Chains A and B, each alone.
Chain A
């Protein structure tokens, strides 16, 4: 290596690289959305005039077109939308005539609350399962068959959990806990903690299934590594081995997948929010796509993309902390 740039310069380059990445993601997603909604059929001006199939007269249509710049050539409309996105102006919703930014930000809160709760719960369930397996494997002697049975059950549950469709799981939970036992409400409103439970569980269970399987793979792999066998030889109990050594090594690939988990949660939120009648980004996206409300769809997807990029950066930093190897190789991800 020749001259290494100074720390502040390096930081600056890092920030610039990050900004570049974010901009690229935003630009591509915005373009894809614009093209997709244009190709999706239906005139966007209908969104202004009461939705698809509007019977509004020619003067109303002309007025709406002029007001929203929909009479400009397509490439100009595209650039206008792009500019709006970059300056975070995002314009007004065609259908609601309120600023898109307001709509998206007010929807972001409930979705974030739901996603974070689900992520935490999912992680806890996955960790719990992984610990259980680790303990069960370490059991020896007469209890060994019990240990093996526990492992089989946990493994089976993880596989099952990961293939449960959200809409179906949610319906079953509502039937059991909202109508049957009346423990939790069937509909969910932000601000109500009780209302958060069922949607969170619906999202968390499949996620836990996935994370659990991945964690399980990583744990199995780690426990056969020299550091684990050495620790056990030194008399360390299974829990200690698990939390101090194994978990750390298994966590790396799983933390890396938190970015993916975020995408999984947003997809799940689309279904869960509609199912439980809960406001949020997912529901906003579905409704706006159906109405061909281009600014809202674009604004929402751009926000999601930005959050995703942010999350990626954070997880990469965390990975670097967990595994110094990843940090020093300087590999780009």
Chain B
């Protein structure tokens, strides 16, 4: 009699499992059976049959935003998703010139303190018209302490007031000339939202901001996905009506890279970000997978190791140079990233037209490193082979943010650790979660660190290498991790920020970069990696100034 319940339960469980098995394999709500596509790769849009409609599924490995309004806080995941529903005032071409978007034209006064913007005629998806009053409301929202903006408000720091001249004309009054204003306004973190939407209050606006973008947020299931539908009334930057070809987007959050890639291969998702370098290589090598690779380096700074010149041992330029000369990251980058990351020798991203590259300063030269260290007084070695001076070991604390450094990058740091050991450096790598990492930085408990910084335009140099960057924000955070306090460099950066002459600005910034590189404050590694893998989608727009993808012109090919 006891046997029966046991058997019953067992058979019920088996039935359950079988039922789950017989259900549709690898369900993909966006596209019908991909057997019909005829084996064409997605990259060539002309051959692959595209279909109207359908829902694109995007799986993001970045942290889930805590608020869908990028004014609040302001990080890259917010930029990625808000690209679909918010638009900035201006755009940026590949050559660095500013292009019209929500603002069609602009002029600046001679003293650089007044900017006049002519605005396009648009309507927000909640019906509110886009006009100068809306622009004013947005800038005020960014500067309002209650908004808690961390990135956007810095961008409009010098704006004292936005004057509503008339519906189609807004006038920005600045406290100082700002050569980077247009670049700052090209970012998602200063994008335009409906003032009516903003007036709803943060709790509501965080859930579904109303913008002028090609899609509209309809729902957000925390930790799972954000649902977006197409905006049929969308008007693009040229003023043409251009409703998206897709019906909508499902924006999912899948933190694990291997799972994300598996989901792409099995067809559950159509686009993924932050793929591992070896999956990129595997995907490119196997055409039958039908996976396309998009490499869209982020603007602003390059991915580099900053050496803390504010304390021992890197307060001595010879020690800094010795570290850099013995690090030899090239072969490591080659082995760990294959062709997906190209070594950089510049402080700026390769997408910045004014980037200066000095390969000769970063050649591997162990002998030179040893000589420099001897000159600097680190002449003795202890039992483990590390150099010492006055009893202290040549030790470099290197906190690593596990949230921001992919495994391949962490392995690269280990390779550098092994390389510089030959010159006598001890590198202590400490993997930390984000909060602990920022705490360590804020407390100056590091000698080397790799901290990404995305910003549109070379003005990022001022943020990262001007001495004012060593002053901490209330949270303790400061951006100038290399602790560069060079009066001449400050003068160059200040002048570049004030001048309205583009050629002069470019020249000043080039000089600034040379100074930074010659100071051996940083070891450039590669561009801030921004890779995407795509399957069964064509027509993706990669031109957004912060290098996010826009699906306004995208369609499914499966």
Do chains A and B directly touch (beta carbons under 8 Å) in the complex? yes
Which A residues contact B (CB, under 8 angstroms)?
40-43, 45-46, 48-64, 67, 93, 95-98, 103, 106-107, 120-121, 124, 127-128, 171, 174-175, 178-179, 182-187, 189-190, 192-194, 196-197, 239-240, 243-244, 247, 274-277, 279-280, 283-284, 287, 289-292
Say whether B165 faces chain A, with CB atoms less than 8 Å apart: no
**Which residues on the B side are within 8 Å of A240 (C-beta)?**
3
Quick check: which of B141-149, B234-242, B329-337, B346-354 contacts chain A, the rest being far away? B141-149
Docked-complex contact B64 and A53, CB < 8 angstroms? no
Known: A56-B148, A279-B221, A283-B223. A183 touches B263 (CB 8 A): no
- Interface size grouping (class) on chain B: 35 or more
* Least CB separation from B403: chain A residue: A290
Docked-complex contact B13 and A187, CB < 8 angstroms? no
Chain A CB within 10 Å — which of B73, B148, B149 has the most? B148
Say whether B154 faces chain A, with CB atoms less than 8 Å apart: yes
Which B residues contact A (CB, under 8 angstroms)?
2-3, 6, 9-10, 13, 17, 19-21, 23-27, 59, 63-64, 66-67, 72-75, 145-151, 153-154, 202-203, 206, 221-225, 252-256, 258-260, 262-263, 265-266, 268-269, 403, 433-439, 441, 473-477, 479
User: In the complex, A48 Cα to B145 Cα: how many Å?
Assistant: 12
Docked-complex contact A187 and B252, CB < 8 angstroms? yes
What is the minimal beta-carbon distance from A225 to any residue of chain B, in angstroms? 18
* Least CB separation from A53: chain B residue: B438
Docked-complex contact A124 and B9, CB < 8 angstroms? yes
**Which residues on the B side are within 8 Å of A247 (C-beta)?**
2
What is the minimal beta-carbon distance from B278 to any residue of chain A, in angstroms? 14
User: In the complex, A182 Cα to B24 Cα: how many Å?
Assistant: 10
* Least CB separation from A167: chain B residue: B256
* A–B pairs, 13, beta carbons within 8 Å: A53-B438, A54-B150, A56-B474, A63-B146, A64-B148, A96-B206, A193-B23, A194-B27, A283-B223, A287-B63, A287-B223, A290-B435, A291-B435
Partner of B27, one of A45, A98, A121, A185: A185
Partner of B59, one of A54, A187, A275: A187
10 nearest A-B pairs in the assembled complex, by CB-CB distance: A50-B73, A277-B254, A59-B145, A279-B223, A41-B439, A42-B435, A186-B262, A53-B438, A61-B474, A95-B66
**Which residues on the A side are within 8 Å of B439 (C-beta)?**
41-42, 52
**Which residues on the A side are within 8 Å of B441 (C-beta)?**
53
User: In the complex, A54 Cα to B475 Cα: how many Å?
Assistant: 6
User: In the complex, A277 Cα to B410 Cα: how many Å?
Assistant: 23
User: In the complex, A292 Cα to B439 Cα: how many Å?
Assistant: 12
User: In the complex, A283 Cα to B408 Cα: how many Å?
Assistant: 24
What is the minimal beta-carbon distance from A297 to any residue of chain B, in angstroms? 12
* Least CB separation from B1: chain A residue: A244
What is the minimal beta-carbon distance from B129 to any residue of chain A, in angstroms? 28
Other CB < 8 Å A-B pairs besides A178-B263, A179-B265, A186-B263, 15 of them? Answer: A41-B435, A50-B148, A51-B63, A52-B435, A54-B73, A63-B148, A127-B6, A187-B59, A187-B260, A187-B268, A189-B224, A194-B23, A239-B3, A277-B256, A290-B434
